[in-house]
Structure 1
């Protein structure tokens, strides 16, 4: 289905981007194949962890996989069969792709609960400020998935990344100044203009800003590595307890900002402090390992773990933060070398 020209904005037409815990029809992934993110034998090394991620999601919803070509599609099917994934839960869209980070280049799904309609926002994608060209194939992904699903699209005409925004499902969006105000994204827009785009095209009423992101994050500070909503008025906020660690001061700055914030109803945020893993260093490289890069899906909360002393602590905290939801810890020790984890790799498609 082609792009639509709304008389009104999506927000004015009753569309919103729901919270991640809203029931999903599917979760979308772009299957990794490009060695620019996992060089040499690292691509093969991360694959078992990635396949385990697919299997975990597929327990309770479909998984949509964007595959670079038919050869890769056949390979994926064979690999999933080997680990007993129900292939009836797997959907494929075959199209050229550049990289694996579907949270950022994939479709942003909006829903209208009254009319039971859905639509896709096709934000522009420039690979985090032009860092990793080429990215034109990934930029076309929302349009192709929309055609596959028969959903209308709208194109705001600016750069936006799904990992840079976090939603409580009640009108509030969290983001970071270091990313969305970075001149490598939309240099022609100021903060208030960006807030207007967020409001118009995500259907929200409030934007809350933290300062920056963590060391090793090449996205200029995506929010999904530092601060996540777990319900309408509660967040988990990453903290670093080692005052000598590079992340200590930036996360303290963010935490202090979060403590002053008020939601639309006037309430303070309930803040649950979530420890960072001890520095996840691979071959001398400080990766952006973070327990906040979890995915909430129908099966539960898929949490990246790193064979790290703080894994058990983080799992326990997230278990208390999501009462009634299963916590599914999955190894991300190889995935994180690509500078992202399970949330970065995925984009949920909500039910209406």
Structure 2
């Protein structure tokens, strides 16, 4: 579906050159867990992702003042720390979505309204709702204020005018009551410079549980290059996402993107692990971060890790693919893409 004319801002694709990656350090609440051991596991895993990204490009970590010394002890010395109050650590969602002016000369930062993934009962967002503007200021970006509730994990762009999104996120009554596809499309066109919308009906099964996002697309599908969509494929019929992923893949068949190409669908297998103590997992290799010269990918100590990393090498042939064990992140509701946010480089 094509929306109104795109605005003056454009969001580059993730594979475009980055100035840096932004993250936030776990500070409290469910992300740290209930025991010192769980807190330590969360902090070490976030730090492992930051240190992997720092091999390829600068990393800036936002950290609550009380956690600065802990963070410094776990992070590569090259990682910059910026101290301010935080509720949580999901930079993709609470942070800004960076954009460039149409001529590429100015950096902008879309500051979505953040309300804890649709005002979820367990979430707090007093401080996190301010992180978009805070990070924009540190980056020297012009703030592009958006009136809609949205998170960076709820969409993917190809940089040429196409956006992937899900009906259960942007149209969620807990986020944007009364919103229509037309109203969301108009705002995305204005703030992200997109004009072709690929609406998926839903996300993965686990994402609708208590600590889920209600359908973020960044564990379902992404664009690794123009005209290509990489899609999560659950091959085992014993997992409820077997039917879900087949339906999502079918919905993408024949879709024409902004450049006039019919999307080429590349399937990436779900991990062989099907369940944990809380039910069917939503482990996903789709939830990776593209960085300068590389890809930082989720692994799960799983029989399908090597297969999936090979698929990533095929769709990103000029980049080094590095895996980081993401099980501790997924246990808390997301993956590597969810805790990072890329800042594009100015030409």
Deviation string 1:4-45 (CA, Å, 9 cap, x unpaired) is: xxxxx99533x2111001111110001112131241232212
**Which whole-Å CA distance do the structure 1 matches of 2:229 and 2:130 have between them?**
33
- Residues 339 and 20 from structure 1, CA distance in 2 versus in 1: closer, same or farther, beyond 3 angstroms? same
**Which whole-Å CA distance do the structure 1 matches of 2:176 and 2:142 have between them?**
25
**Which whole-Å CA distance do the structure 1 matches of 2:302 and 2:241 have between them?**
17
Q: Match of 2:223, SS?
A: strand
Residue 56 of structure 1 and its aligned partner are, at CA, apart by 1.2
Q: Match of 1:301, SS?
A: strand
Q: Match of 1:122, SS?
A: strand
CA contact (8 A) 1:67 1:94 kept: yes
Gaps of 5+ in 2: none
Normalization by structure 2: what TM-score?
Answer: 0.92
**Which whole-Å CA distance do the structure 1 matches of 2:5 and 2:28 have between them?**
35
Q: Match of 2:232, SS?
A: strand
Normalization by structure 1: what TM-score?
Answer: 0.91
Verify: 1:108 aligned to 2:86, yes or no.
Answer: no
CA contact (8 A) 1:103 1:163 kept: yes
- The answer for the alignment partner of 2:13 in structure 1 is 19
1:230-241 aligned within 5 A:
230-241=224-235
1:1-352 aligned within 5 A:
11-13=6-8, 15-39=9-33, 40=35, 41-69=37-65, 71-80=66-75, 85=76, 87=77, 89-112=78-101, 114-131=103-120, 132-217=122-207, 218-279=212-273, 281-352=275-346
Number of residue equivalences: 336
Deviation string 1:103-141 (CA, Å, 9 cap, x unpaired) is: 011011111262511111111001111113321210100
**Which whole-Å CA distance do the structure 1 matches of 2:276 and 2:239 have between them?**
16
Q: Match of 1:340, SS?
A: coil
**Which whole-Å CA distance do the structure 1 matches of 2:310 and 2:200 have between them?**
25
Residue 264 of structure 1 and its aligned partner are, at CA, apart by 2.2
Residue 147 of structure 1 and its aligned partner are, at CA, apart by 2.1
CA contact (8 A) 1:301 1:328 kept: yes
**Which whole-Å CA distance do the structure 1 matches of 2:193 and 2:26 have between them?**
31
Q: Match of 1:155, SS?
A: strand
